[in-house]
Amino acid sequence: MQGGSRVTVRRRDFDAALFDLDGVLTETARLHAAAWKVVFDAFLRSWADRHGETFRAFDDVADYLAYVDGRPRDDGIRCFLRSRGISLPEGRDEGSTEPDSVRALGERKARYFRENLQAGIKPSPGAEALLQSLRRASIKTAVASSSKNCAAILHASGLDQHIDASADGLDVERLRLPGKPDPALFMEAARRVGAQPDRAILFEDALAGVEAGRRGGFGRVVAVNRGGQAEALLERGADIVIQGLLDVDVENG
């Protein structure tokens, strides 16, 4: 199937609809990418100076989508740094100010993101109307997000009142769930709304998330083409690629 298609969600086919958050239900992916760029560029510039290397900036589109998007925070840091041939220690507990560790980079990114979050969050076009339509059709809705800020983002966007359940980065840490592309987080979200994976439709925009949906055996994996990567999303296992949630219809039958 090609990008630009429409999707129809029918009650007879699905008991639940699962959504990634950033870049699918809310327009927060750009805030994450911008925060990562500030943190990674400062680190990479310092690293280059200390090791006599040429500074190469973090690309907040290509690098973000390839290595960070959809992954738990620390996994994304490791994945990106590995692409540059850099390995850092894990670091001490949260709140540490040590300059060069996975934990320290993650903490700095979280602070930048929380500061930007205060400016307000907009739902993605069509998100609120879609969630309302799903509820009218008696299709449960759940969010599965690697973000530890999931609850705050949902509340800031006003979408929390339309969601039946969520599983997020805090649950990943508490339950020791492996991150995407492992399907564990999606499986937990489906469990919380009482749906079997093959009776749930999944909406994702990240390559790792699409792969997780395919591995989990979800009834349909719908990819939202936020970064101009339709072909890659299909290769990772998406059944169909759409441009946004305005391309989704709901039928109660």
The residues annotated with a catalytic role in the active site are: 20, 22
Task: Tell me if residue 19 falls in helix, strand or coil.
Answer: strand
Which two structure tokens, joined as six digits, stand for 156? 């800031």
Q: In angstroms, rounded to a whole number, what is the distance separating the alpha carbons of residues 181 and 203?
A: 14
Q: Can you state the angle between helices 207-215 and 184-192, rounded to 10 degrees? A: 70
Backbone φ and ψ for 208, nearest 5 degrees, come out as: -65, -35
Backbone φ and ψ for 37, nearest 5 degrees, come out as: -65, -45
| Residue 80 CB partners (closer than 8 Å, separation 6+) | 40, 58, 63, 67, 68
Handedness of CA 156, 175, 32, 247 (dihedral sign): negative
C-beta separation of 13 from 249 below 8 A? no
Q: In angstroms, rounded to a whole number, what is the distance separating the alpha carbons of residues 232 and 148?
A: 27
Q: Distance of CA 64 to CAs 70, 134, 140, 142, 251, Å? A: 9, 31, 31, 25, 35
